[in-house]
Structure 1
Amino acid sequence: MNSVEERILAGLDDEQRRVATTLNGPLCVLAGAGTGKTRAITHRIAYGVHTGAYQANQVLAVTFTSRAAAEMRTRLRDLDAPGVQARTFHAAALRQLQYFWPQAIGGELPNIIDYKAQMVAEAARRLRLTTDRASIRDLAAEIEWAKVSMHTPESYVDAAAGRDDAAGFDKTTIARIFQSYEDVKTDRHMIDFEDVLLLTVGILDTEAQIAAQIRKQYRHFVVDEYQDVSPLQQRLLDLWMGDRQDVCVVGDASQTIYSFTGATPAHLLEFGQRYPEAPLVKLIRDYRSTPQVVDLANRLLSTRRIEAGVGDRNVSWPEPLELIAQRESGPEPQFAEFADDQAEAAGMAKAIQQLIDSGVQAAEIAVLYRTNGQSENYEQALAAAGIGYQLRGGERFFQRREVRDGILQLRAAARVDAEGSVTQQVKDVLSSLGYSETAPSGSGAVRERWESLQALVALAAELEKKRADRQESLSLMEFVAELDERAAAQHAPTVQGVTLASLHSAKGLEWDAVFLAGMSDGLMPISFAEDQADYDEERRLLYVGITRARRHLHVSWSLSRTPGGRASRRPSRFLDRLRPAVSTQDGASSPRAAKRRRLAGPPTCRVCGTLLSSAAERKVGRCGDCPPGYDEAVFERLRQWRLDTANEASVPAFVIFTDATLMAIAEAGPTDATELSKVPGVGRTKLERYGPDVLDILSAGGPAA
């Protein structure tokens, strides 16, 4: 193995290395959140290229967002495999459609519409139907679902049986609107994003010569986020592959959060049935989050319950991957209850300021919520606190005027030979647009403009350092080319400011600190969740939110929408078995929380009555100064068993059980599985995996005795 190949495999764990070195035939990778799946698959591609198993231009890697595709291309370039195509399904299909359209159809490819709303509204007007903005949005979403599920206006009524009526229209009327929408597009010689896939599928399905050209070009396929593949995307993948089987799919059924768009994890879950000989590799070592965050995420999935009175209870729930944290221990997740939305937003802003004061960068903090309509309170609270923020889903970075002006001036400057650091050249050029070494005080437009320019400077410094590490130089012209490529892919650099985003738009991202705000029933799960499948999807959405956090996680909710309003809300049902019995609070007084504190009182040591301050003390119900209420020999046998089990599984000992949990087990002295399950820290999965061994140790005839 040469030095390049050694460098590619260096630093991979055993499971990642198995992915990277399994180069031929079908391969299924189940990858939990934070387990390094992008690292594994990019190193697999690079290893295949450098060993000669792949030709770079014959590999097609597809994923679901432009940002993810751009990140993949960057990593492949850093691994000296720049010729690999890494694109979204739509981008790959559009490229092929543009190339083969003159040959297969003739004439010019129709223009692609960015948004359906205007044409859906026109379709409804042609049928003399009354609609508003909300109903137009719902109808557009329903049409998208129908098309990615490969249904036509003629087949829609039967296919949509059991689905809610979009915008209050019956299925027959929706089918008429669907057909009218297609007619409007034809009249205006336009297509939508779903048509890009449908037309490409149609050409490959009917034009054998074109299909042969595609299959000659691409011989190896990698599909990221495979749990979100729609029937239409799967059909396109099948046509790309033909009768070959060189495909690697990567996904996690527990992160399926786009079912409403037609995405289904069925293709991932049934991959083994389609390819019985395919190896299955599970990535479960979480390198992103602390053990405390990972434990909360695991428990959220393990406590899934069948909802009462919501229809079909027989919805499949694939066995979740139980993640094993690899990072050092961190703070416990914080739970807070507030009187109203404004108090929650103010308390959140205060906690964010404390994190920033402690050294956490604003760009490494995110506030995540269920619906975009919730953002206003958080925007106002951050602005009032003088904390900069960026609204994900708002104006795109490369469409900002200062960014466009900056790139134009950098392009002009690149035509003139200049010496010295590219980072310094970028600073000099952008100074005419308002950039300075120090940030302006306060917030508002001036601060936002500076943050955009600072993001360009920071990107230049990052790229220049990467080149220097490889003993290469970076020119200003190359930096401008990088900006053009990122603009085309909407791969924005990091902007200094707290991120505000919906849970759906946070998929694929991560931060040092995450605030999950508005976590009350009706928002999480959302009020229009009606059946078991809906509730399961909402639980997975919360799981995605939790696993975005590396170190700090704050979960909050409010009891009322407005100050002085009736406290009619309750915390999300998903938190029932996750949050402490008494929620912490920061900010305005909560009547419900105060009542609970009066009834329950603060947690105290059961021996001396002293207040318990740490999570470990609360778990065993005893302060550290009081003698333990268990047999030391029993505790030591449990610790020895834990050490042996951890060594056998090659995981840190605390992953099996923490010391506090072992103490609680020893003190409780459970005699059966039911009693053991009541000990804090013993969830369903750990009960099934370790329960028999623990009960044997505790019994008089146990093996460790």
Structure 2
Amino acid sequence: MAFEQMRKLAVSSKIFTQINGLKDDDKQAVSVFLNRFRMGGDIELIPLQGASDYLLALPKQDLALVLKLVGNVYLTMWVGGRQQAVAWADMHRCEINSRTRSVQVYEVSTRAQEKEDKQKPSLFEALTDEQLFSIGLPEERLAVVRAVTDESGLVGIQAQLPERVYEMLTWFVQGESWDRIVEAYREDVEDQKAMPATESGLLDSGHFRIVESEEELRDIMDKPLAQWRVFLHPSQRQLVDRRWHGAARITGGAGTGKTVVALHRAKHLVELPDWTEKDRLFFTTFTRNLSVDIEAQLRTIVSREHMKRITVLNIDAWLATFLRQHGCAKSIVYPGKAESVYERAWRAAMIMKPMDLEFSDEFYRDEWEEVVLPQHCHSAKDYMFAPRNGRGVALTRMQRKAIWPIFEEMRMQLNLHDALTVEDASEVAIELIRKTYPNGLFRAVICDEIQDFRPDTLRLLRALTADISKEDPFKEGDLFLVGDAHQRIYARPISFSSCGIEIRGRSRKLRVNYRTTDEIRRVAETVYVGKTVDDMEGGEDEKTGYASLRHGPDPIVHKAESAHEECEWILSEIEALLKSDRGYTESDICITVRTNEQLALYESLLSGRIHIRRISRDSADDPELPGIRISTMHRIKGLEYKVVFVAGMNRGTFPLELTDKEDRDQTSLKQHRRAEEALYYVACSRAADVLFLSCGGIPSEFIPAE
């Protein structure tokens, strides 16, 4: 068929969701129809009466598709039964805003307009009419917006506003400055991929996707569950497509789409026209399980051929492999189990502890892990002049001299076992890379959960790829770092610049939570009320993200006397969820606990009553597999579920009470507390729709007041 006969088609995110609810034969009918329509097939379109001039198509009997022609593009708006399709068209307007030129869809309310309450000020009284119109508010909606006096009122009129307008008004209510809101919108509009243009208006990439090929349409229709694969909010899209002239950093609270941006950035880079056969991209993260999940997600958006250009591995696994391949016979060892090489070496080193100093054993351990290893002190002189910022206890030169033999002995013990700490292993790798691969090993490195990286691994990342801010001619690549300091559960605060990574002018923050309801977001953030968190560049960050655009029930709190009683309650709630009309399946529900011991206990109490599936450390969680998920809080980091039970929130268990609390200094105790708060934030923010918080004993201080 001639190219001139083809029609330009855009699939909407709304229809994307509706297709998922159709029967298989109806899905097939819609898919066949859309492809035939796009290819220029002779198809009857029935005009519908109304201000929006919709067109009705009938893929099969009693299955209707609502279309809208905007310029040279047909927008798919709604799919379902014919009567319902006509009713939807009567209730919704689709038009091009005269101010912003954007295509807007919103509900035309048939209810009587509420009169403005003169006793209460309008929530938007600080904004002029012109300011409201400038972000795309339809003039006919002005009175409705002016009548809003509180946040619940804004939620109540959500359907009556274009989604982008509702989003920006929500930003304003949550404390964002109007100038920043307008600036963000202007940045989106100026990005042609974020707001692609038709002959008469702009399409929001978060709601519409112009289909470029039959293969793309087939892929969209075959896998309609994961909307993130297809639709990116304009603020996300511009971060993906931007030509960053150096290392870039993307931050944002849980649910703001940071990982989605990182995944699409990888796809964007390996599909660049100038990507050669020698070019490689490294996608890394801190933990093994996260890298497993990321690789599975990448394979849903990147072709098999392009995946050959990408290496996905957690940083420690990559480091061990690299050293082994380059002749280093030493193994990398980690602190942890009592009989590990690391812990046996430390016990042997503590024999060198000076008897005339009254520091605790834990003090020496912290000194080793927080001063000696990060700063690569290999001699007494190195240690003598090493900064000890934040350690809390000052040391004289004589005291440092007396302490140094402990650390010297530790390295000797490790050497006897042909072992290296990860910090020293990173130092060896960096030297190897600089000598052998002066331009780095990869054209680009993308790193998720960057807040959990140690200084040595940050320096390793810098060595792995060239700093393109210093290159001429410019070739897109370098570092793309994604994270959130509020979710730091492993590493201590550190600034990028101190590790040789310069991001000034190339840092952006995602500000809207698209995953969780606002009710869940508020509860998740309670541990940070009145507190600040470092911004990974020497400053402080107060906000974890702004309000979610979604709303739902308040999180449910239950206090049981025992774990057995708590599990009986969990079972009853799960049964009710699965029987409800909300369509939840087993794989939509996850139970998470703080420790591995709790995991074994709760798994044993629930098994046999319901189908339980423990989330593997070695493979991605396949939503197609049946079973209620159960996991520790560390394992579900980076995942999301419609329903989450944060269970076993007992005093002493969560936050976890330290057995050696008396031996730790205030800095160490503060860091432990922050890590536990971050785990609470991570666990709660995995829930999209419903959150349950429970204990089986004395309640934790983290359990909200009922």
Q: 2:678 aligns with which of 532, 535, 540?
A: 540
Alpha-carbon distance change, 557 to 305 in structure 1, aligned in 2, over 3 angstroms: farther
Q: 2:597 aligns with which of 331, 349, 373?
A: 373
In 1, Cα distance between equivalents of 2:606 and 2:383: 46
Q: Gapped runs of 5+ residues in structure 1?
A: 102-107, 307-314, 398-489, 561-569, 584-705
Q: 1:501 aligns with which of 604, 607, 631?
A: 631
Larger proportion of helix: 1
In 2, Cα distance between equivalents of 1:379 and 1:76: 31
1:200 corresponds in structure 2 to 429
1:229 corresponds in structure 2 to 453
- CA apart distance, 1:54: 4.2
2:312 corresponds in structure 1 to 86
- CA apart distance, 1:243: 4.5
Q: Is the 8 A contact 2:333 2:341 kept in 1?
A: no
In 2, Cα distance between equivalents of 1:173 and 1:522: 37
- CA apart distance, 1:249: 1.6
Q: Map 1:410-559 to 2 at 5 A.
A: 490-491=619-620, 493=622, 496-528=626-658, 532-559=670-697
In 2, Cα distance between equivalents of 1:353 and 1:87: 38
Q: 2:487 aligns with which of 244, 252, 255?
A: 255
In 1, Cα distance between equivalents of 2:350 and 2:284: 42
Q: Which amino acid aligns with 2:686?
A: R
Q: Gapped runs of 5+ residues in structure 2?
A: 1-192, 194-210, 218-227, 353-359, 394-398, 470-477, 533-537
Alpha-carbon distance change, 375 to 156 in structure 1, aligned in 2, over 3 angstroms: farther
Q: Map 1:10-409 to 2 at 5 A.
A: 11-26=231-246, 27-52=248-273, 54-55=275-276, 57-77=279-299, 78-80=301-303, 81-82=306-307, 83-101=309-327, 109-112=329-332, 117-123=339-345, 126=348, 149-152=374-377, 154=380, 178-191=407-420, 193-205=422-434, 207=435, 210-212=436-438, 214-215=439-440, 217-241=441-465, 243-245=467-469, 246-259=478-491, 263-264=492-493, 266-267=495-496, 274-278=502-506, 280-301=507-528, 303-304=529-530, 317-327=540-550, 329-358=551-580, 360-383=584-607, 386-391=609-614
**TM-score w.r.t. length of structure 1:** 0.53
Q: Is the 8 A contact 2:596 2:632 kept in 1?
A: yes
Tell me how many residue pairs correspond in the alignment: 441
Q: Judge which range, 153-162 or 109-118, deviates more.
A: 153-162
2:212 corresponds in structure 1 to 3
Determine what percentage of the aligned residue pairs are the same residue. Answer: 24
In 1, Cα distance between equivalents of 2:448 and 2:524: 22
Alpha-carbon distance change, 35 to 239 in structure 1, aligned in 2, over 3 angstroms: same
CA offsets 1:176-226 (integer angstroms, 9 cap, x no match): 565444334423434454444232023235x2xx132x52x4233322212
CA offsets 1:148-178 (integer angstroms, 9 cap, x no match): 624447567977797699xxxx999996565
Q: Which amino acid aligns with 1:255?
A: Q
Q: Is the 8 A contact 2:335 2:342 kept in 1?
A: no
Q: Is the 8 A contact 1:229 1:267 kept in 2?
A: no
Q: Is the 8 A contact 1:512 1:551 kept in 2?
A: yes
- CA apart distance, 1:506: 2.4
CA offsets 1:219-245 (integer angstroms, 9 cap, x no match): 333222122221101211222345434
RMSD (CA atoms): 4.4
1:447 corresponds in structure 2 to none
Alpha-carbon distance change, 319 to 93 in structure 1, aligned in 2, over 3 angstroms: same
Alpha-carbon distance change, 127 to 24 in structure 1, aligned in 2, over 3 angstroms: closer
1:620 corresponds in structure 2 to none
The SS at the match of 1:514 is: strand
Q: Which amino acid aligns with 2:286?
A: F
CA offsets 1:619-663 (integer angstroms, 9 cap, x no match): xxxxxxxxxxxxxxxxxxxxxxxxxxxxxxxxxxxxxxxxxxxxx
Alpha-carbon distance change, 145 to 305 in structure 1, aligned in 2, over 3 angstroms: closer
CA offsets 1:248-299 (integer angstroms, 9 cap, x no match): 221112111213xxx435339x999943332x33223333223332233345
- CA apart distance, 1:22: 0.7
Q: Which amino acid aligns with 2:242?
A: T
Alpha-carbon distance change, 67 to 3 in structure 1, aligned in 2, over 3 angstroms: farther
- CA apart distance, 1:544: 0.8
Larger relative contact order, structure 1 or 2 (CA cutoff 8 Å, min sep 6): 1
The SS at the match of 1:3 is: coil
1:409 corresponds in structure 2 to none
Alpha-carbon distance change, 370 to 17 in structure 1, aligned in 2, over 3 angstroms: same
- CA apart distance, 1:334: 0.2
Q: Which amino acid aligns with 1:276?
A: R
In 1, Cα distance between equivalents of 2:344 and 2:574: 45
Alpha-carbon distance change, 549 to 500 in structure 1, aligned in 2, over 3 angstroms: same
CA offsets 1:347-402 (integer angstroms, 9 cap, x no match): 2333234334546433433222333333354234213x622434557xx66xxxxx
In 1, Cα distance between equivalents of 2:639 and 2:332: 28
Alpha-carbon distance change, 226 to 128 in structure 1, aligned in 2, over 3 angstroms: closer
Q: Is the 8 A contact 2:330 2:419 kept in 1?
A: yes
Q: Which amino acid aligns with 1:65?
A: T
Alpha-carbon distance change, 115 to 219 in structure 1, aligned in 2, over 3 angstroms: same
Alpha-carbon distance change, 369 to 67 in structure 1, aligned in 2, over 3 angstroms: closer
- CA apart distance, 1:333: 0.9
Q: Is the 8 A contact 2:285 2:291 kept in 1?
A: yes
Larger proportion of strand: 2
2:60 corresponds in structure 1 to none
The SS at the match of 1:499 is: strand
In 1, Cα distance between equivalents of 2:572 and 2:351: 49
The SS at the match of 1:60 is: strand
In 2, Cα distance between equivalents of 1:501 and 1:332: 23
CA offsets 1:388-419 (integer angstroms, 9 cap, x no match): 434557xx66xxxxxxxxxxxxxxxxxxxxxx
CA offsets 1:563-606 (integer angstroms, 9 cap, x no match): xxxxxxx541x455xx4xxx3xxxxxxxxxxxxxxxxxxxxxxx
In 1, Cα distance between equivalents of 2:254 and 2:296: 21
- CA apart distance, 1:532: 4.8
Q: Is the 8 A contact 2:284 2:448 kept in 1?
A: yes
Alpha-carbon distance change, 44 to 380 in structure 1, aligned in 2, over 3 angstroms: closer
